[in-house]
């Protein structure tokens, strides 16, 4: 028997296929079809590409302490664990090389959210030891004072923001003097602290450390700054020592532990690959002055790693999955309370349509069993991915805020969908024909269709299934599809189109 000739794929096409999966969140199945290769072949390409990236990073090529620090913060973002102070709230974004935005400490800028208040941490990252037992680094102190005293177009707010120095692991004597001063500044009044230090309240090393944070001479003269201002500055200062370059360090073990906590599998091998992927992701964004939030991480890694639901959003998603299951189970699918008609051919037809389209519209006569078909499809899909079932009562909305209220969510709808950790989700819209007013239907279509795709990740709703009326775009407006006909013989027509 003759062997099948080996398919030759250009190196450029291989790179393009890998980039679609790793950077644009296109599924392996869809990318494999696009390049006419098997999914196994594509997975091999991805494995080789990520192995090369990992070798380059760990070998020093593009590898730096800054990349690891960024990855360390991303593990905390994914795990929903405060990386610095829980009073800052949830970590929302990392931004790199921020000097053009007015930040003197420009290696990294973290944005946190606590209720309605945003907190920002401007960070200096150095892989060597920056502090001695008696002295803070002069450059760090000068930059902090310069930012603290700036009066024109200053993005820093002493009430909400912080200066952070991330340095190599510090000796115990340095930690003792440094953190005793920082702690005292947070709990004592500035004038009283200066008097207490004059009376030798703290150790000799701590008093020297305090004086090393004095305002530089030129700035002190310009802004008339005295010693009593030092505690006010110190209240805005945090120091974090990290040892991430030693694979056996407690900091590295903590980061890998968070990676295991994030993953459904929880094994060390996959956690290590996730860590390397995060380091690479930081490197790619850092050199271009980019920013990384949760949506960027998920867009890049959701297809490759089996993430658990994010702790901030897990309760809302669990509520949605449970409510959806109750809704589709309320659809009666038996005749006379006994007979349940098999619909395997129908489900196969829907499956084949989804192979080429993101949206499938199920058309049929009223009472013809469209909702029953949707229920069977929901039960089928729920075995492999989450299913969100929405009915007319929930869909009678004007905007996202109303959707949040209708679904009794703790988080805003936009934020919730952006934080979806699953690689894909099935959305079933049941009974759109029961929304009587055309204007209401048009608003709904904008909220769940075009706006959702543009406002969120463009492939968040990887599969969409409408049971009810067909909708299309005419002259840029969503409207009822008058040309789609239903079958008198209760055969179902399936129409797919891309939004």
Question: CA gyration radius for the chain?
Answer: 28
* Pair 105, 163: CB distance under 8 Å: yes
What backbone torsions phi and psi does residue 328 show, to the nearest 5 degrees?
Answer: -75, -25
What is d(CA 393, CA 434) in angstroms, rounded to the nearest whole number?
Answer: 9
Q: Which sign does the torsion angle of CA 343, 345, 348, 349 carry?
A: negative
Pick the residue with more confidence: 118 or 458? 118
With pLDDT > 70 as the criterion, what percentage of the chain qualifies? 79
Predicted confidence (pLDDT) per residue in 420-461, tens digit: 888 888 888 887 666 545 555 555 555 555 434 333 222 222
Tokens for 458, please give them: 């463009």
- The torsion of the CA quartet 169, 244, 284, 58, rounded to 10 degrees, works out to 130
Residue 210: half-sphere exposure toward Cβ, Cα within 13 Å: 28
Among 61-70, 172-181, 470-479, whose mean pLDDT is lowest? 470-479
Beta bridge mates, 118: 113
CATH architecture of 314-333+342-497: 3-Layer(aba) Sandwich (3.40)
Among 72-86, 185-199, 406-420, 474-488, whose mean pLDDT is lowest? 474-488
Predicted confidence (pLDDT) per residue in 205-221, tens digit: 999 999 999 999 999 99
Residue 393: half-sphere exposure toward Cβ, Cα within 13 Å: 5
Give the pLDDT of residue 271.
Answer: 96
Predicted confidence (pLDDT) per residue in 382-422, tens digit: 888 888 888 777 766 666 677 788 788 888 887 888 888 88
Q: Which among 95, 222, 98, 100 is positioned nearest to 150, based on CA atoms?
A: 222
Pick the residue with more confidence: 182 or 460? 182
Predicted confidence (pLDDT) per residue in 256-266, tens digit: 999 999 999 99
Domain ranges, ordered by start, for the chain? 11-58, 128-240, 314-333+342-497
Tokens for 131, please give them: 């502090």
Predicted confidence (pLDDT) per residue in 461-477, tens digit: 223 344 443 333 333 33
Q: Which among 239, 394, 250 is positioned nearest to 323, based on CA atoms?
A: 394
What is d(CA 328, CA 342) in angstroms, rounded to the nearest whole number?
Answer: 17
Q: For the whole model, what pTM was predicted?
A: 0.76
Q: Which among 396, 378, 391, 375 is positioned nearest to 447, based on CA atoms?
A: 396
Runs of H (alpha helix) within 152-235: 172-187, 190-198, 204-212, 217-223, 230-234
């Amino acid at each position: 028997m003759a062997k099948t000739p080996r398919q030759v794929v250009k190196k450029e096409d291989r790179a393009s296929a890998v980039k679609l999966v790793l950077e644009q969140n296109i599924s392996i199945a869809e990318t494999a079809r696009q390049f006419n290769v098997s999914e196994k072949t594509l997975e091999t390409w991805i494995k080789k590409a990520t192995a090369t990236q990992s070798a380059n990073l760990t070998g020093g090529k593009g590898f730096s302490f800054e990349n690891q620090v960024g990855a360390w913060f991303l593990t905390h973002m994914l795990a929903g664990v405060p990386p610095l102070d829980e009073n800052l709230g949830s970590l929302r974004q990392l931004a790199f090389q921020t000097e053009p935005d007015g930040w003197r400490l420009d290696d990294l800028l973290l944005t946190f959210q606590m209720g309605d208040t945003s907190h920002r941490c401007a960070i200096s990252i150095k892989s060597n030891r920056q502090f001695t037992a008696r002295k803070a680094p002069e450059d760090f102190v000068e930059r902090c004072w310069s930012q603290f005293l700036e009066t024109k177009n200053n993005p820093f707010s002493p009430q909400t923001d912080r200066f952070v120095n991330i340095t190599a692991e510090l000796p115990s004597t340095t930690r003792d003097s440094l953190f005793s001063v920082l702690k005292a500044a947070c709990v004592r009044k500035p004038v009283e602290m200066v008097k207490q230090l004059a009376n030798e309240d703290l150790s000799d090393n701590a008093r020297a450390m305090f004086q090393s944070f004095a305002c530089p001479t030129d700035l002190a003269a310009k802004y008339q700054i005295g010693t009593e201002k030092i505690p006010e500055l110190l209240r805005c200062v945090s120091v974090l020592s990290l040892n991430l370059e030693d694979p056996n360090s407690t900091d590295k073990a903590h980061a890998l532990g968070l990676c295991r906590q994030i993953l459904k599998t929880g094994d060390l091998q996959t956690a290590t690959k996730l860590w390397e992927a995060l380091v690479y992701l930081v490197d790619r964004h850092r050199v271009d002055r980019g920013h990384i939030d949760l949506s960027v991480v998920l867009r890049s890694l959701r297809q490759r790693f089996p993430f658990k639901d994010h702790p901030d959003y897990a309760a809302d998603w669990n509520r949605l999955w449970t409510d959806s299951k109750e809704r589709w189970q309320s659809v009666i699918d038996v005749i006379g309370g006994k007979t349940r008609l098999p619909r395997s051919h129908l489900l196969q037809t829907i499956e084949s349509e989804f192979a080429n389209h993101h949206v499938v519209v199920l058309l049929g006569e009223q009472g013809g069993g469209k909702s029953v078909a949707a229920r069977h499809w929901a039960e089928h899909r729920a075995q492999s991915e989450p299913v969100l079932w929405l009915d007319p009562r929930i869909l009678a909305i004007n905007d996202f805020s109303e959707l949040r209220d209708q679904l009794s969510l703790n988080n805003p709808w936009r934020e919730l969908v952006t934080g979806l950790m699953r690689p894909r989700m099935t959305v079933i819209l049941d009974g759109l024909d029961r929304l009587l007013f055309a204007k209401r239907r048009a608003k709904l279509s904008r909220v769940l269709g075009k706006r959702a795709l543009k406002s969120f990740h463009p492939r968040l709703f990887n599969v969409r299934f409408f049971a009810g009326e067909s909708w299309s775009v005419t002259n840029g407006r969503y409207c009822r599809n008058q040309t789609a006909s239903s079958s008198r013989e209760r055969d179902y027509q399936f129409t797919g189109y891309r939004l």
